[in-house]
Chains A and B, each alone.
Chain A
Amino acid sequence: MSFITIKNLWKEYGKQVVLENLNLEIEQGEFCTLVGASGCGKSTFLKMLLGQEQPSRGTLNLEDEPFPPQPDRNRGIVFQRYSVFPHLSVRDNVLMGLELEQRPILGKLFGKPRREALVKVDAMLEAVGLTGAANKWPHELSGGMQQRLAIAQSFLMKPRVLLLDEPFGALDPGIRNDMHQLLLRLWKETDTTIFMVTHDLHEGFRLGTRLLVFDKVRHDPHDPQAFGATITYDLPIGKTDDGLLEDIQTNLSKTARIQAA
């Protein structure tokens, strides 16, 4: 039994086929990066893992149980934007998860329990390098720092699966590199299973343990929505050469052009 089992998974919206016939086995602690042209179902796949969308057909199991049909605290998420709460300070943003867990009615901690929770929060802020910004509002942070905050928020709750939807897409290349180091460090420390969608194929080739390429193998020139995307490459990271990278790049650009036409 694998940690996550995906068998004959399809996702359709009416006549539009987004994903067709996905088959995957994912072990606990794997770090999968998902790449592909726009509209090739990467985000849809992530939403199904999250519980925001349901599969049309097929199996999507977590330890032999179907994925719950709504988001829950076993699956953390970091979006490209809007992942943090604007009305809470950096510290309170990270504290929120613990407060929700310990106080089902009020959702707020006071006194000693709060102080104890804040020890964990501050350790996490330290780990992501936000100690100095603990009392700032999110809008006072740079884009990179906001993403650090969103990552800290999720990791503190120790989700079994962490989903990242183009988390560094809006960041400068230099910052992006720092974020990769941060993410790899937290991943190794926690043994979380990670899925990360990215536009950047090079990012996909460097990070994590496994690269999943989403692409369309069939095209109907008269009906672009007739066929969905599937996983065309499922590669272990670090054992591939640059020639393969170029091949994949060529395939994806071709699909992107067909999609745009």
Chain B
Amino acid sequence: MSSMRLINRHPGRFSAIALGLIPFVILILIYGMASHERLAENPNDKLLPGLEQMTAAVERMAFQEDKRSGNYLMWEDTVASLERLGMGIGIAALMALVVGILNGTLPLFRANMAPLVSAASMVPPLAILPILFIVFGLGELSKVMLIVIGTAPVMMRDVAQRVRELPQEQFIKIQTLGANSWQVINRMVLPQILPRLIDTMRLSLGPAWLFLIAAEAIASTEGLGYRIFLVRRYLAMDVILPYVIWITILAIIIDQCLRLTNRKLFPWYNAGGH
């Protein structure tokens, strides 16, 4: 058999799954061994908790009422964080849709607004977090605003870019069918941009989580980020690690939901019709 070049060798279905799982298994094994070793030396070690300690922590945080507040803390944290995240990314997406489409479609608007959007997207959002706390107070608004300010300008630029990538032929064609500027936006640009906006939202979710947790860490009374930073004082790795895993799972679920929504709503987009 002639030797196949590496670039031409593809894994089969099962070997692809196996290859994908291997790094996870190795990581878990390394952690398990290290944790086991430390716990053998000192059963009260907090740095690398074993499965037992972590299950107990999850049991306590998620399935038992908190003694002081009577709430199930992990759910309370999850709901609070997801609300902020959803509001932030939702508002940012809406703003990106409006400003991005106008920027991409109307040259006068672009000349007027694009420099501001570009400049805004260069401001490091965490640097203005103190300003947000001063202006909007320590309540929900400033946390949502951080996510909006952190993600909206980049999404605006992306949407405008996507609009400008639509074939010029289509802009001409719809005008020859009699469209006015508004109809060009309404019947051609908007429907073709929506699936691309969902793609942009998926990419913005990473930064959105970052800003959410940063804001919660600094000023909050509940939330996933708040909890992690709170229990850090007690070196409670048995709580922190499950929380991090839970946040990761949430992020994956949201991402996949957006992907499926995109497929379901815009079949022409995902079948290569663009």
Contact = CB atoms under 8 A, between A and B. Distances in A.
Interface of A: 50, 52, 70-73, 75-77, 79, 81-87, 96-97, 99-101, 104-108, 137-140, 150, 153-154, 157, 159
Which 7 pairs show the lowest CB-CB distances between chains A and B? A139-B273, A73-B178, A82-B167, A82-B169, A71-B175, A97-B177, A86-B273
Interface size class for chain B?
A: 20 to 34
A209 B273 CA distance: 37
Given A96-B187, A104-B180, A107-B186, A77 B173 contact: yes
Contacts of A106: 186
Contacts of B172: 50, 52, 71, 77, 79
A177 B229 CA distance: 72
B272 interface: yes
Given A81-B169, A87-B192, A139-B272, A100 B176 contact: no
B122 interface: no
Nearest to B177: A97
Given A71-B176, A72-B176, A139-B268, 16 more contacts: A50-B176, A73-B177, A76-B176, A77-B173, A77-B176, A82-B169, A85-B173, A86-B269, A87-B192, A99-B187, A104-B180, A104-B183, A107-B182, A107-B186, A154-B177, A159-B176
Contacts of A81: 167, 169
A141 to B, nearest CB: 10
30 contacts: A50-B176, A70-B175, A71-B172, A71-B176, A73-B178, A75-B176, A76-B176, A82-B169, A82-B173, A83-B169, A85-B170, A85-B174, A85-B188, A86-B269, A86-B273, A87-B192, A96-B177, A97-B177, A100-B174, A100-B177, A100-B183, A100-B187, A104-B183, A106-B186, A107-B182, A107-B183, A139-B273, A153-B173, A154-B176, A157-B176
Contact of A105 (B174, B182, B269): B182
B173 A79 contact: yes
A72 B271 contact: no
B267 interface: yes
Interface of B: 167, 169-170, 172-180, 182-183, 186-188, 191-192, 266-269, 271-274
Q: At the interface, is chain B mostly helix, strand, loop or mixed?
A: helix
Contact of B273 (A52, A79, A137, A150): A137
A70 B65 CA distance: 69
Nearest to A52: B172
A124 B196 CA distance: 32
A174 to B, nearest CB: 25
Contact of B271 (A84, A104, A105, A137): A137
A50 B169 CA distance: 12
